[in-house]
């Protein structure tokens, strides 16, 4: 039965057993296709340091592991199925049920189980989400309408729906075909075709000669009918990331965050605190960081620079250097002092932004607050009240003086206080 959820160690053990099963199955397929004799089969088994009994045992263990991974995560399939089902309009709901979609989601779980690599250090549910959702969405696209539409038409329709919502919010009315044509960059005739595709079919037994209730006056309003699940294009075009690519992008963003946290853990607590806010990896109240720590903004800058110089050390940089652009690495390793710290900060910011964008946006930030997706980088040392990293400067709070005040140049008083603004839950 489903029972309690698996622990990370249990998932790792099951994933390893499945990987062993796949290697054995691939070996058997090679032998069958090549019509290799039993003697070669024994040789190959011996090369893998496994006799026939061990192979049979490994096959049984792998198949059982696959079943357990799927059964223990059926709840994920039902959760995704319910979420997608709630976004379907009434006409399309009549053809599918949550149970139908959950069954398709379980097929996605099985596919994810075969591709799950436990050595990456991730929970199975993290990797399986995109596979499961892709199977559910495909089931709707293939079976959710009386007249099936090709997959690429669903994607074009989704772009049109998004444009319709944006134009409606902008003008306070439904957009015309001409406005949609300009926004989508397609001819008006194409917009009218998309409008027709979006309409749901209706039985001829319905009164009024089978006229659909959403037939209206044409234009772009019909685009708001039909399937409304959130498919979306990751690259802003018609193409979609494959579920494997999407899962890899999510995992890469999470790995970057985890490895940065490990590097920050080697710093002094205040240095780590400042860097977490510098790169948007921690939430805080909407107040000046200097006020939180009881120091001046010059001291905050010192903490930041000192922490970045420590991160340049090879033993610490080894935790995150693989995520950085090669040219960025060369720049910060060659630079010295404050310049080197600045180059490293730029390199880390670029890596965080790239990972977040590849994962669809908000991946790194939503670990802190699922309700918001702030920028992955917030500039704590912004001047003029602006935040180079996307944070808003709150010019209402000034940091307390340091406990040991020292003489400061008058010109420094005109600088904006070092602040960080993050949405509070």
Tokens of 76: 């994920």
pLDDT in tens, 361-407: 555 544 443 333 333 444 444 333 333 333 333 333 344 444 444 44
With beta carbons less than 8 A apart as the criterion, state whether 238 and 152 touch: yes
Buried b (16+ CB within 10 A) or exposed e, 230-248: ebeebeeeeebbebeebbb
Report how far residue 243's alpha carbon sits from residue 248's, in angstroms, rounded to the nearest whole number.
8
For residues 157, 163, 169, 170, the Cα torsion angle rounded to the nearest 10 degrees is -160
- The whole-angstrom separation of Cα 320 and Cα 327 is 15
Taking residues 295-317, report their average pLDDT: 88
What is the per-residue burial (b if ≥16 Cβ within 10 Å, else e) of 127-159? bbbbbbbbbbbbbbbeebbeeebeeebbbbbbb
- What is the rounded average pLDDT for all residues in the chain? 68
Model pLDDT for residues 91-128, shown as the tens digit of each residue:
555 567 788 888 888 888 888 888 888 888 778 888 88
Please state, for a pLDDT cut of 70, what percent of the chain lies above it.
Answer: 57
- How far apart CA 184 and CA 381 sit, in angstroms, is 40
d(CA 59, CA 165): 52
Strand (E) or helix (H) holding 419: strand 419-420
CA 174 to chain centre: 32
Cβ burial of 194 (10 Å; 0-12, 13-18, 19+) is buried
Partnered with residue 288 across adjacent β-strands are 419
Average pLDDT, stretch 186-195? 78
Q: In the predicted model, is pLDDT for residue 152 greater than 60? A: no
Please write the tens of the pLDDT for every residue from 323-365.
888 888 888 888 888 888 888 988 898 888 887 777 655 555 4
State pTM to two decimals.
0.40
122/40 Cα distance (integer angstroms): 37
As a whole number of angstroms, the distance between CA 93 and CA 102 comes to: 14
Q: Could you tell me which residues come within 8 angstroms of residue 78 by beta carbon, excluding any fewer than 6 positions away?
A: 98, 102, 105
Q: What is the 3-state secondary structure (H, E, C) of 98-128?
A: HHHHHHHHHHHHHHHHHHCCHHHCCCHHHHH
Does residue 226 have a pLDDT over 50? no
Tokens of 200: 């749901």
Distance separating alpha carbons of residues 352 and 373, to the nearest angstrom: 13
């Amino acid at each position: 039965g489903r029972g309690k959820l698996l622990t990370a160690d249990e998932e790792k053990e099951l994933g390893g057993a499945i990987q062993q099963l796949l290697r054995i199955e691939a070996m058997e397929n090679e032998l069958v296709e090549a019509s290799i004799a039993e003697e070669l089969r024994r040789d190959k088994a011996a090369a893998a340091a496994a006799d026939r009994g061990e192979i049979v045992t490994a096959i049984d263990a792998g198949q059982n592991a696959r079943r357990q991974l799927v059964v223990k995560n059926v709840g994920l399939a039902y959760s995704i199925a319910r979420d997608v089902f709630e976004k379907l309009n009434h006409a399309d709901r009549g053809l599918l049920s949550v149970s139908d979609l959950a069954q398709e989601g379980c097929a996605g779980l099985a596919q994810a189980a075969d591709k799950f690599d436990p050595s990456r250090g991730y929970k199975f549910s993290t990797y399986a989400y995109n596979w499961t959702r892709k199977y559910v969405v495909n089931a709707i696209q293939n079976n959710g309408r009386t007249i099936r539409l090709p997959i690429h038409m669903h994607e074009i329709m989704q772009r049109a729906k998004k444009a319709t919502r944006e134009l409606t919010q902008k003008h306070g009315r439904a957009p015309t075909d001409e406005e949609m044509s300009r926004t989508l960059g397609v001819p008006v005739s194409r917009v009218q075709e998309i409008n027709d595709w979006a309409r749901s079919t209706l039985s001829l037994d319905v009164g009024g000669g089978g006229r659909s209730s959403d037939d209206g006056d044409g234009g772009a309003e019909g685009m708001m009918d039909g399937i409304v699940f959130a498919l979306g294009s990751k690259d802003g075009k018609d193409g979609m990331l494959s579920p494997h690519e999407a899962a890899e992008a999510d995992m890469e963003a999470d790995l970057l965050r985890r490895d940065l946290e490990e590097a920050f853990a080697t710093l002094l607590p205040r240095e780590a605190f400042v860097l977490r806010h510098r790169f948007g990896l921690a939430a805080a109240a909407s107040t000046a960081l200097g006020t939180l720590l009881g120091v001046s903004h010059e001291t905050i800058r010192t903490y930041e620079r000192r922490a970045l110089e420590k991160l340049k050390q090879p033993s610490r940089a080894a935790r995150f250097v693989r995520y950085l652009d090669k040219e960025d690495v060369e720049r910060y390793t060659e630079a010295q002092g404050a310049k080197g710290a600045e180059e490293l900060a730029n390199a880390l910011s670029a890596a965080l932004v790239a990972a977040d964008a590849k994962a669809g946006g908000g991946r790194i930030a939503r670990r802190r607050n699922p309700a918001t997706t702030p920028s992955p980088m917030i500039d704590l040392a912004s001047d003029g009240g602006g935040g180079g990293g996307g944070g808003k400067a709150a010019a209402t709070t000034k940091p307390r003086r340091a406990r040991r005040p020292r003489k400061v140049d008058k010109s420094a008083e005109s600088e904006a206080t070092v602040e960080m603004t993050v949405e509070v839950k």
